Structure 1
Amino acid sequence: MDRLDDILTYRHPDVTAEFLKDKGVKGRDLGLLYLKEITKAFSSILYENITKIIAAAEGDGISRLRLPEVLYSDHIRFGTGGTCFSMTYFLVSILCDLGFSAYPVLADRPLVPNSHAACIVLIGGRRYLIDPAFMIDEPLLISEERSVYHLAHNSFLIGRKRDVEIDGAQLEYLRGFRGSCIPYWEREEGCYVVATLRPRLKVRYLFSCEPANDFKFLSCWLDSFDWPGMKNISIARPLKDGYMYIRGDLLRIEGGFGRRQERIKDDWVSVIRSVIGLDRRLVERCLEITRRRRYA
């Protein structure tokens, strides 16, 4: 599969069948309960950019895209996963293969338009948001009312932009940083806000419920391999009542029990191996690439 129109069919039935069998997901009517079972099983796939950093260094063009066949094979072999674009693509493919009405959306993170991807599913005339990258592993109803959802590892707010109140300091940040020309918070009224509520309200991104244009989605996915964030390792894993997050040399564990944060001072490979369980060779290769990029 190497042609653009093939990639954008979102059809990978063999991988979908393997995923369902491995995760013990049984077929049933295309309703909300079945969707929840699928998304809960999908949440076992790790958010990480280690494999993406390696793919960016060793490939070019569409060969860098980690499509479901590669992503899921690596997940089984090494315990890896993907980032927002590859995970959204895989999830949409699974749902479309099963007959759900699902599609990807592009979202604006602070200062960076079209820098995030998530999945929307239509059931009974209602729209539900699922976001593997932000560990939204339950379908959250997108309604006209401001809604708060309490998941095990965080609480999320979804609402129309006009209905979300934030403090002045964050508003200035959202409007632009150091003279940025990106009017992040000036998007049209049709936008929805996704914010986390622990330990305080923090806007994560804006999105429209319109399906992402196929070629725009692919273009943003390809562009993401060259973004500044690819210079540092990012890993996120849900815990029973919180989450664990690694960004560069920062390790943060947060949840109902409080918050612990520390710097990884020595032997990153052993730390990541011990707390996440990833293959040592992959971590070593990724660290070699990121060090070279930072000092290039």
Structure 2
Amino acid sequence: MNALPTIHTDPHFVMTDQATLAAFFRHAGIDVAQESRATIINKLCAAFANMPYENLTKIIKSDAVISAGSAKRLPNEVIRDYLEYGTGGTCFSLTAAFIALFNACGIEAHPILADRHYGVDTHCALVFPQNAGLLLLDPGYLIHHPIPLPTLAPQTVTHGFNTLELVPQDAGQKVELFTIVNTSRKSRLTYKVSPVDGPTFGRAWERSFAWEMMTYPVLTKQSHGVQQYLQGNLLRIRDNTRTTKHQLTPDQEYDFISRTLGIHPAIIKQAFSIVREK
């Protein structure tokens, strides 16, 4: 692992709003002073599993500011909006917030970047040390339960609606992620295991504002082994045996985001208005 501070001071990974932090701990049932490290991690993971992956807040913030640098939703904003509006974020904002909460609990965690087929450093996740190894969490890919990163042999993990296979490369310096559904095995991304610093993470984050996904809604969440994934007006519902597709009308789309994902109607209206204008 690169030499990085045990507890981050970079603003990408710090919760400075103590009132919001305390409110989140109450919401998640976390008592930092009394509970064990393992219990705190379990409760943080459970709380993040309830946060949707969504780009509505990213669309709104990007439309309100001039530069990508100022459009980043840092941990204070992500957690505050989650508590008030039921929103989440995309991979960079969720990962940064996750690290900030680990940080606030005195637990070491670091960001890593990942490459996808359409670009270098187009995804991110976080790792934290345990038993001389590294555990992976990836809220942007709905990996909310820690997975040991393999260094020698591939590892397969059941993920409810699919199976994940992690294949180490370059003596464990990289790990390729495959998904397996029935007989279909697909490469999704490749994690670069060495942690990055705040400025490097921030530059990758800023580049994400130019992606095509900023022109239509993308939301996903999993519950009880089922993933619901909305891209534009196409809803995919996946379990471990099949995927069903549904074309939604505008009213159905609005209803799905509000009722199923729990996002406040004001957020939906504002984001959809911006998308229509663009």
Asked if TM exceeds 0.5, the reply is yes
CA distance in 2 between partners of 1:254 and 1:136 (Å): 15
Pairs within 5 Å for 1:155-194: 155-161=163-169, 190-194=173-177
- Tell me if structure 1 keeps the 8 A contact 2:134–2:149: yes
Shift of 1:196: 1.7
1:229-274 Cα shifts (integer Å, max 9, x gaps): 1111110111212110001111011113632111113433234334
Shift of 1:220: 1.4
Match for residue 65 of structure 2? 59
CA distance in 2 between partners of 1:287 and 1:195 (Å): 33
Q: Over aligned residues, Cα RMSD in angstroms?
A: 2.2
CA distance in 2 between partners of 1:201 and 1:25 (Å): 38
The alignment partner of 1:197 has SS state of strand
Shift of 1:151: 2.7
Shift of 1:147: 0.3
Unaligned 5+ residue runs, structure 2?
1-8
Shift of 1:227: 1.5
Shift of 1:38: 1.9
Shift of 1:11: 4.5
Match for residue 255 of structure 1? 239
Q: Calculate percent identity across the aligned residue pairs.
A: 24
Of residues 24, 36, 39, the one that matches 1:29 is 36
Q: Does residue 87 of structure 2 align to residue 80 of structure 1?
A: yes
Q: Does residue 147 of structure 2 align to residue 140 of structure 1?
A: yes
Match for residue 181 of structure 1? none
Q: Does residue 157 of structure 2 align to residue 149 of structure 1?
A: yes
Match for residue 120 of structure 1? 127
Quick one: which amino acid aligns to residue 190 of structure 1? Q
TM (norm. structure 1) is 0.81
- Tell me if structure 2 keeps the 8 A contact 1:56–1:64: yes
- Tell me if structure 2 keeps the 8 A contact 1:84–1:116: yes
- Tell me if structure 1 keeps the 8 A contact 2:172–2:193: no
Of residues 214, 217, 223, the one that matches 1:230 is 214
- Tell me if structure 2 keeps the 8 A contact 1:244–1:253: yes
Match for residue 198 of structure 1? 181
1:132-159 Cα shifts (integer Å, max 9, x gaps): 0111010000122200111334321112
Unaligned 5+ residue runs, structure 1?
163-187
Shift of 1:97: 1.8
Q: How many corresponding residue pairs?
A: 263
Pairs within 5 Å for 1:2-13: 7-8=11-12, 10-12=14-16
CA distance in 1 between partners of 2:28 and 2:80 (Å): 14
Shift of 1:189: 7.8
CA distance in 2 between partners of 1:274 and 1:88 (Å): 25
- Tell me if structure 2 keeps the 8 A contact 1:40–1:137: yes
Q: Does residue 277 of structure 2 align to residue 272 of structure 1?
A: no
CA distance in 1 between partners of 2:125 and 2:265 (Å): 30
Shift of 1:50: 0.4
Match for residue 6 of structure 2? none
CA distance in 2 between partners of 1:190 and 1:257 (Å): 33
- Tell me if structure 1 keeps the 8 A contact 2:150–2:172: no
CA distance in 2 between partners of 1:257 and 1:111 (Å): 28
CA distance in 2 between partners of 1:288 and 1:227 (Å): 19
Shift of 1:120: 0.5
- Tell me if structure 2 keeps the 8 A contact 1:12–1:93: no
CA distance in 2 between partners of 1:249 and 1:105 (Å): 31
Quick one: which amino acid aligns to residue 160 of structure 2? A
CA distance in 2 between partners of 1:195 and 1:136 (Å): 13
CA distance in 2 between partners of 1:30 and 1:250 (Å): 40
Q: 1:30 to 1:270 in 2, by over 3 A?
A: closer
Q: 1:24 to 1:243 in 2, by over 3 A?
A: same
